[in-house]
Amino acid sequence: MPLALYALTAGAFGIGVTEFVIMGLLIDVGQDLNVSIAAAGLLISGYALGVVVGAPLLTTLTARMPRKSVLIGLMAIFTAGNLACALAPTYELLMAARLLTALAHGTFFGVGSVVATNLVDPGRKASAVAVMFTGLTVANILGVPLGTWLGQAYGWRTTFWAVTVVGLLAMVVIAMLVPKDRTAPEASDWRADLRAIARRPVLIGLAMTVLGYAGVFALFTYIAPVLTEITGFSENAVSPILLVFGGGLVVGNLVGGKLADRNLTTAVVGTLIALTVTLGLMAIALESKVATVIFTALLGATAFATVAPLQVWVLQKAEGAGQSLASSLNIAAFNLGNAIGAWAGGITIEHGPGLAALPLVAALFPLAGLGLTLIALRVDRHARAATVAA
């Protein structure tokens, strides 16, 4: 893989840390800014909202710009946003800074995915996307625990200062290693872009992403109480188990990319099946500590095995000028899935069958995505057969 891909990985690492590290610093932020934990938790929701809004907005506004310049500019926004977080004197300003930071998220991964696929041979496109997304997996394994420790030991603002430095470094390596566009960007026509993403295969891809990740986060958002209250682990055991989950993320991400390079449709269907089965069987596995650890690793692997196939699916189905927008919207779809999953999990705990039922409820989401995919593939086969017959 070309070095330029690892420059994109560095940017993905920084974005992954700043998105998730706030989860481990909610108490510190709440105490420092005199707000409740629930209010501090809205900093996570605010970030997700910024991703959903920023992905289509910035992708459309930067469509005519060289992609390398766009990536550098997005990392500049990211860096400025984290600097503003580190300096924010009030909760309101911290929320505004989080929103600013999030604006760069979706477009970076969307445009970055397009750049990554253009850096390699056609048969390695999904693997290239997987390499870029490795930055997110490493952020979860190393960056978030380290950032949490740093914030708890030296104050939460220190973590954002550190991520600001990561942003600066990512900007430098992207400027040095990512090549200039081989061809001038096509003239942007937002109507054509909308027509591209309105195609049924693209919309199905976005729906698969939402449903798949709603399932993941319906369970993973509440993984700590599940591990302690259902399986009986101590609180001290949660962090090491989450490292196992992170290891699964890395393996699944790379395997998903390899599978998608061989056969994209099979990879999409296969990874959704694997995710559904893993979530379903985890309801039984939670009765055993050993089985729970194994299935936590499998959950990480099957969750991120879907990333590269789904991202490449949307890229391929959008085609042409609509690729960047469709790719960015797919990143927004991941975040929308996160929000829906966390909400569904909360409803299950407070008004439904409770924590023990979370894996089964979570499995319903990728199962629905799988059903939608199979129906769409069947319709496409009939349409192709009708065209040949005509």
Digit-coded pLDDT (tens) for 329-339: 888 888 888 87
Q: What is the pLDDT of residue 386?
A: 61
Q: What is the pLDDT of residue 383?
A: 63
Lowest mean pLDDT among 65-74, 193-202, 219-228, 344-353: 193-202
The confidence band for 184, taking pLDDT boundaries of 50, 70 and 90, is low
The confidence band for 45, taking pLDDT boundaries of 50, 70 and 90, is confident
Position 320 pLDDT exceeds 70: no
The confidence band for 271, taking pLDDT boundaries of 50, 70 and 90, is very high
All residues at 6 or more sequence positions from 390 whose CB lies less than 8 Å from its CB, including other chains: none
Domain residue ranges in the chain: 1-179, 189-390
Mean pLDDT of the chain: 83
Q: How many CB atoms lie within 10 A of CB 165?
A: 13
Please state the three-class secondary structure of the chain as a single string: CCHHHHHHHHHHHHHHHHHHHHHHHHHHHHHHHCCCHHHHHHHHHHHHHHHHHHHHHHHHHCCCCCHHHHHHHHHHHHHHHHHHHHHCCCHHHHHHHHHHHHHHHHHHHHHHHHHHHHCCCHHHHHHHHHHHHHHHHHHHHHHHHHHHHHHHHHCHHHHHHHHHHHHHHHHHHHHHHCCCCCCCCCCCCHHHHHHHHCCHHHHHHHHHHHHHHHHHHHHHCCHHHHHHHHHCCCHHHHHHHHHHHHHHHHHHHHHHHHHHHHCHHHHHHHHHHHHHHHHHHHHHHCCCHHHHHHHHHHHHHHHHHCHHHHHHHHHHHHCHHHHHHHHHHHHHHHHHHHHHHHHHHHHHHHHCCCHHHHHHHHHHHHHHHHHHHHHHHHHHHHHHHHHHHC
Position 282 pLDDT exceeds 90: yes
More confident residue, 73 or 236: 73
Architecture category of domain 1-179 in CATH? Up-down Bundle (1.20)
Tell me whether domains 1-179 and 189-390 share a fold: yes
Position 183 pLDDT exceeds 70: no
Q: What is the pLDDT of residue 151?
A: 86
pTM: 0.75
Fold that domain 189-390 belongs to in CATH: Growth Hormone; Chain: A; (1.20.1250)
Please tell me the total number of residues recorded for the chain in this structure: 390
Residues 252, 304 contacting (CB under 8 angstroms):
yes
Lowest mean pLDDT among 17-26, 66-75, 156-165, 306-315: 17-26
Residues 390, 232 contacting (CB under 8 angstroms):
no
Of the candidates 345, 334, 341, 133, the one whose C-alpha atom is nearest the C-alpha of residue 249 is 133
- Cα separation of 232 and 230, whole Å? 6
The average pLDDT across 27-56 equals: 81
Position 142 pLDDT exceeds 70: yes
